[in-house]
Structure 1
Amino acid sequence: MNRLSLVAAAFGLLASSTLSATTLSDDANMTIQFELPQLDVAQYARPYVAIWLENSDRESVRTITLWTGKQTEWLKDIRSWWRKVGRYDAEFADALSGATRPAGQYRVEWDGKDDNGQLVPAGEYTLMTEVVREHGGRDLVRMPITLGDAPFTQSSEAQDEIGVISLSYQP
């Protein structure tokens, strides 16, 4: 291969890798709707909830919602989220955490950005939802999704601690 061919091949590889790393548009948005069911149990405690996005390498990209109230000592009970994100940055977790919520229907929005405020690349991701109750159960729901130019809707099956999770993505 001559020198010119090598240079052309290198630029071709660079161009194709740049195209595959296209970020989501500024208008990208995902609505996440879910239910925290009313459970008929003796010691009902409001659940701790974490919703986050992982890339195809199973690395956390964005914590979308974290509901633990001021109970930061219980953050490690949201085991999967804690192991990926929380234990590495307690100040981040404390700043992000909101109040726990009673049983009911909820809606949260994701703006297509990572934890640093940058638009994420188009590609394969997993939306992770973890719900844990003190003196209760724990559910972890993994929803594989493809983020890019195509809108989609998707739903999970209901679990014990969380009802159906419905996603609606608009590029």
Structure 2
Amino acid sequence: MRHLIRTVAVSALFVSSAAFAVPQMTVDLTLPEITEGQYHRPYVAVWVEDAQGQPVKTLSLWVWDEGHKWLKDIRRWWRKAGRDDMSFVDGIASATRPAGHYKIDWDLKDEAGKALEPARYTVFIEVVREHGGRDLVRQNIDLTTGDFSVQLPATTETGVIDIRLSGMAR
């Protein structure tokens, strides 16, 4: 009898932990080693827009410390989220990164900390290098369909990008 109760309790624990999984999105981003010409670390913006093209959340903004004058080179992000509020930019910006692999986690909340409504959104990754290239990668995500994973092909300025949604209730 004790064994049965223990088995039921452990089973309930596993079932309930899945039910209470915290929804999150992870972006695994690789900045490749570029050896041609003069290399500058890229400016990178990762953000999410709703179906109407309105910015929902900036997940990462990597810029040179004195690079505010170059922010406009991250064209789409600048037009959508950056140019109207420099204090916002100062609050989220961090240093540029060297070539390597980076993981960006997001709790699926907007800039105000409110959980997103189940709907369709677009994840944008914009990578720009001084005297180099510019790539804008986008991926639609649907918060109504449950967990998913997608791998985006490498571009000139990025390696392969993996985007995963997990903890989504169906």
Tell whether the structures are fold-level matches, with TM greater than 0.5.
yes
Q: TM-score, normalized by length of structure 1?
A: 0.83
Give the Cα separation in 2 of the matches to 1:26 and 1:114. Answer: 19
- Deviation at residue 36 of structure 1 after TM alignment: 0.2
Task: Report deviation, 1:69.
Answer: 3.0
Percent identity between the two aligned chains: 46
Q: Does 1:128 align with 2:124?
A: yes
In structure 2, the partner of 1:93 is 89
Aligned partner of 2:153 in structure 1 is 157
In 2, Cα distance between equivalents of 1:114 and 1:34: 21
2:77 corresponds to 1:47: no
Describe the superposition over 1:111-137 as per-residue Cα deviations: whole angstroms up to 9, x where unpaired.
110011111111111100000000100
Q: How many residues align?
A: 147
**Aligned to 1:28, which of 13, 23, 27?**
23
Question: Do structure 1's residue 112 and structure 2's residue 108 form an aligned pair?
Answer: yes
Structure-2 residue corresponding to 1:141: 137
The SS at the match of 1:53 is strand
Structure 1, unmatched stretches of 5+, are 1-24
2:102 maps to amino acid: Y
What are the superposed Cα offsets for residues 52-91 of structure 1, whole Å, 9 maximum, x if unpaired? 0011001110000100031212111101100001011111
Which residue in 2 is equivalent to 1:9? none
CA, structure 1 residues 125+159, in 2 after alignment: closer, same or farther (shift >3 Å)? same
Q: Deviations over 1:38-61 (max 9, x none)?
A: 011221000000000011001110
Give the 4+ runs in structure 1 shifted more than 3 A. none
Q: Aligned partners of 1:159 and 1:134: how far apart in 2?
A: 17
* Matching residue's letter, 1:131: V
- The 5 Å alignment of 1:11-26 reads none
The 1:26/1:55 distance shift into structure 2, 3 A limit, reads farther
Question: 1-side partners of 2:68 and 2:118: how far apart?
Answer: 33
SS at match of 1:49: strand
